[in-house]
């Protein structure tokens, strides 16, 4: 996925909470790009189906931005919402009709003619992998979506679809407080296939530097100490710790603060040796390696 996404991605899940007006959002996008963060992660459902539209307004206000950035969005979750009155219950849907309709909605909302990367947001128990692969192929032929992947899929679920259509990533949760991807085969699969995973909640949803439990305090203490040695923040070290894995994970930020984007981008200049990496792992697990 080299060249497709920037090594740090800006997540806009909370965009509506930031209460940016369009000019402010344009400036924020420009700042991110200046930091080398050129990829922006969306989902159709974010902000009760409103985030893509707000971002699209910014792209319409500054049309030159579109060719300087990459748009990632996700579909497949159906929320009960006034914005989607036909949805009777929260459910998953990877049918051709829903995926195509979701893509069309995202293209309109984002004011763009193509999506750089489309992800299936959650595993759908009723997914027909052959039919979904055909849908992906159609959307790619039409030029509406350039690349495809999944989010929150297990290794076997990823493999089921990847055998039928070449995916480029699995977006999963991973942080110094959430180590599941290290042991469930997700990162091994990504490494084996040479497909860098996208990482959501790299700071554990903020708990890494806000929670008062013993585990979070242990991890925070190690990250802060390692950061002081390098003249960077503990948050920068958390991003660097994730990036140290040989599968070359791509962390997604979740903040509207330029300072937070800068902390994430600074991780690109930080190295971790193996013993330091395992110090963080040990602080998280509470024990040494077996």
Residue numbers annotated as active site: 46
Measure Cα distances from 255 to 78, 202, 260 in Å. 25, 12, 6
Q: Are residues 76 and 94 in contact, defined by beta-carbon separation less than 8 angstroms?
A: yes
Element (H, E) at 115: strand 115-120
Structure tokens at 254: 């979740």
Cα separation, 71 vs 114, whole angstroms:
8
Looking at residue 280, what DSSP letter applies?
H
Which region holds residue 137: left if phi is over 0, alpha if psi is between -120 and 50, else beta? alpha
Q: CA torsion sign, 1 to 129 to 191 to 41?
A: positive
Element (H, E) at 170: strand 170-173
Cα separation, 261 vs 91, whole angstroms:
33
Around Cβ 202, how many Cβ atoms within 10 Å? 29
């Amino acid at each position: 996925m080299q060249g497709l996404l920037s090594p740090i991605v800006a997540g806009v899940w909370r965009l509506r909470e930031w209460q940016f007006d369009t000019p402010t959002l344009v400036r924020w996008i420009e700042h991110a790009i200046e930091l080398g963060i050129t990829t922006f992660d969306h989902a159709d459902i974010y902000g009760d189906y409103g985030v893509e539209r707000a971002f699209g307004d910014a792209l319409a206000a500054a049309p030159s931005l579109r060719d300087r950035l990459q748009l990632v969005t996700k579909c497949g979750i159906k929320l009960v919402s006034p914005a989607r009155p036909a949805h009777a219950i929260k459910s998953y849907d990877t049918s051709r009709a829903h995926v195509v309709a979701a893509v069309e909605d995202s293209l309109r909302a984002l004011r763009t003619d193509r999506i750089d990367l489309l992800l299936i947001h959650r595993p759908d128990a009723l997914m027909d992998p052959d039919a979904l692969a055909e849908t992906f192929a159609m959307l790619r032929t039409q030029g509406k979506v350039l690349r495809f992947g999944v989010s929150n899929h297990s290794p076997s679920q990823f493999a089921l679809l990847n055998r039928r259509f070449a995916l480029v990533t699995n977006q999963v949760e991973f942080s110094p407080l959430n180590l599941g991807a290290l042991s469930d085969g997700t990162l091994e699969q990504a490494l084996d296939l040479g497909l860098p995973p996208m990482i959501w909640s790299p700071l554990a949803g903020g708990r890494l530097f806000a929670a008062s439990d013993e585990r979070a305090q242990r991890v925070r203490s190690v990250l802060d100490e390692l950061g002081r040695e390098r003249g960077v923040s503990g948050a920068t070290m958390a991003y660097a710790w994730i990036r140290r894995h040989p599968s070359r994970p791509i962390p997604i930020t979740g903040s509207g603060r330029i300072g937070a984007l800068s902390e994430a981008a600074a991780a690109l200049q930080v190295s971790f040796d193996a013993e330091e990496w395992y110090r963080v792992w040990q602080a998280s697990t509470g024990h040494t390696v077996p």
